[in-house]
Amino acid sequence: MSRPPLQRISMRPLHLVAVAAEGGPAGGPAAFHRLEQALVTLKGRRFYGVATPLKEGVAYHAAAEAADAHEASRLNLEPLKVQAGEWLQHKMFDWKGVAHTIGDTIDRIASTHTIDHGRPTLEFYRSERELRLLIPVITNHQKR
């Protein structure tokens, strides 16, 4: 089976409401459960896993696009803002069966591109079947 090609995309800033995962990405399922319990409705929401590299390990948040500017404080959730920019998008289908490969897939893509370490890597949960990995890249005009 061939891998889907990478696609370079531009994204607007994202304003998110989030729950920090204990233990990094391994704590993601529990963080998503807490996030879903806090939200009034899941209908029409876009959900993201937000992975921010640290000196040691990765900070991970389960997140959803904020419904309004005050939703995070109203629901006692953490507000997160992801800066706009260019990303490499890699689509994964039937991702639940291969979720254990997400980290290796990101590492493989990062090894061949100039990554913007000032922005997190995102997992956009497009549907129950489709996950889009979004790896931030530095554009030519960003290079110093």
Give the integer Cα–Cα distance in Å for 8 and 11: 10
* Per-residue pLDDT at 50: 97
- Residue 75 falls within a domain, yes or no? yes
* CA torsion, ordered 42, 106, 2, 11, to nearest 10 deg: 50
In a domain, 1, yes or no: no
| Domain membership flag for residue 33 | yes
Model confidence at 144: pLDDT above 50 = no
Domain coverage including residue 46: 7-137
Q: Is the residue at 2 inside a domain?
A: no
Number of domains in the chain: 1
Whether the pLDDT of residue 143 is over 70: the answer is: no
Given a cut of 60, is residue 52 above it in pLDDT? yes
Q: pTM higher than 0.75, yes or no?
A: yes
Report if residue 22 sits inside a domain.
yes
- CATH number for the domain including 22? 3.20.80.10
Give the CA angle between residues 53, 59, 60 to the nearest 5°.
115
Residue 42 lies inside a defined structural domain of this protein: yes
pLDDT tens digits, one per residue of 66-87: 999 999 999 999 999 999 999 9
- Over the chain, what is the mean pLDDT? 88
Examine residue 132 and state whether it is found in any structural domain, yes or no.
yes
The answer to whether residue 89 sits within a structural domain is yes
